Amino acid sequence: MANGTRPVVLVEGLEKRYGDLRAVDGLSFGINEGEVFSLLGPNGAGKTTTVEILEGIRRGDGGKVEVMGLDPWSQGYELHKRVGVIPQGFTFFRKATPREAITYYAALFGRKVDPDEILREVLLDDSPKTLFENLSGGQKQKTGLALALVNSPEVLFLDEPTTGLDPAARRAVWDVIHKLKASGKTILLTTHYLDEAQQLSDRVAIINKGRIIAIGTPDEIIAEHGSGERLEILGDPTIGDYLRENTKLKVENHNGSMVSVAIERRRDALEALQQVEQSGLRWTGIRTREDSLEDVFIKLVGHAAGPNGAAGHKGGGSK
């Protein structure tokens, strides 16, 4: 909560059950105005259920939620005029163009808008008359962003907006999100891409089995749960044994050909390199490294990352 002000999005003790399954189990967090806040977690963690409750699509079974001071379930009509949403797997009429889609949404909201201005805002002004079925994956997602902006929303809910996109298309969507943040929008993002969350988010919450297990800025979470800075030496695996015998450094062997040395002070790296040279053992490369958000995620949740940093794989169950 910034400067003692009430968060734009407030979640207190939120619960959601499906039979015996607790999809959301006492979740609490707040999102401040102008903040990009990401919910991270494996499939089944409760991310999408939480977002849908905040959007007024589902009703929680316990706890309290507010978006801009409104109850999403009982005051959904008023809320929906002030928020923008991109659901998972966004799609639209195949034979409509982005410009036509914006015009259609504007009519639904009773808004007078300049479609070309919105297309420029989401970097889609190069394809205003292309049929939706002929747009690239990135262009389709930017069409979704355009529609989410038609009603000039104060809060945006973006549920996995870049899933399935190639790296270039993902970064194009990132550019749009950066622009939206710069314009003062408050954004709740869910994503399976940990690099995306680290690049875009002011703060993140890692959820597992319906509960928050870590929350803070990416740097704060990495500092609290990461392994710290280390020197990695590629070469003869017996280098690790030599360093353990001849120094008091913390040394680990990884993958047979890599030795990791914890760097608690800068001189630790110099000592390690001097000892390696003195050993006469063969080495082929060195690098310093710190944990990424993905490293910490895997450590906390225990799921290996999928292609392009995606945590886990798409599947059934609550999300």
Question: What mean pLDDT comes out for the span 289-300?
Answer: 90
Strand runs (DSSP E) across the chain, as ranges?
9-18, 21-31, 36-40, 62-67, 83-86, 155-159, 186-190, 203-208, 211-216, 230-235, 251-254, 258-262, 283-289
- How far, in Å, CA of 120 to CA of 5, rounded? 33
- How far, in Å, CA of 129 to CA of 115, rounded? 11
Asked if residue 56 lies in contact with residue 222, where contact means CB atoms within 8 angstroms, the answer is no
Token reading at 1: 């909560």
Alpha carbon distance, N-terminus to C-terminus of the chain: 26
Q: What residue spans of the chain are helical by DSSP H?
A: 47-55, 76-80, 98-109, 115-121, 137-148, 167-182, 194-200, 218-225, 238-246, 266-279, 293-301
- How far, in Å, CA of 17 to CA of 210, rounded? 10
Q: Can you list the domains of the chain with their CATH numbers? A: 2-82+154-224 (3.40.50.300), 227-290 (3.30.70)
Model confidence pLDDT, tens digit, residues 39-84: 999 988 999 999 999 999 999 999 999 999 999 999 999 999 999 9
Token reading at 264: 């608690």
- What pLDDT is recorded for position 256? 75
Token reading at 209: 């089995």
The DSSP bridge partners found for residue 17 are 22
Asked if residue 52 lies in contact with residue 218, where contact means CB atoms within 8 angstroms, the answer is no
- How far, in Å, CA of 311 to CA of 2, rounded? 30
- What pLDDT is recorded for position 288? 86
Question: What mean pLDDT comes out for the span 26-36?
Answer: 96
- How far, in Å, CA of 132 to CA of 144, rounded? 11
**Exposed/middle/buried for 11, CB within 10 Å: 0-12, 13-18, 19+?**
buried
- How far, in Å, CA of 38 to CA of 34, rounded? 13
**Exposed/middle/buried for 260, CB within 10 Å: 0-12, 13-18, 19+?**
middle
- How far, in Å, CA of 294 to CA of 296, rounded? 5
Model confidence pLDDT, tens digit, residues 82-137: 999 998 889 999 999 999 999 999 999 999 999 999 999 999 999 999 999 999 99
Model confidence pLDDT, tens digit, residues 147-168: 999 999 999 999 999 988 888 8
DSSP 252: E
**Exposed/middle/buried for 170, CB within 10 Å: 0-12, 13-18, 19+?**
buried
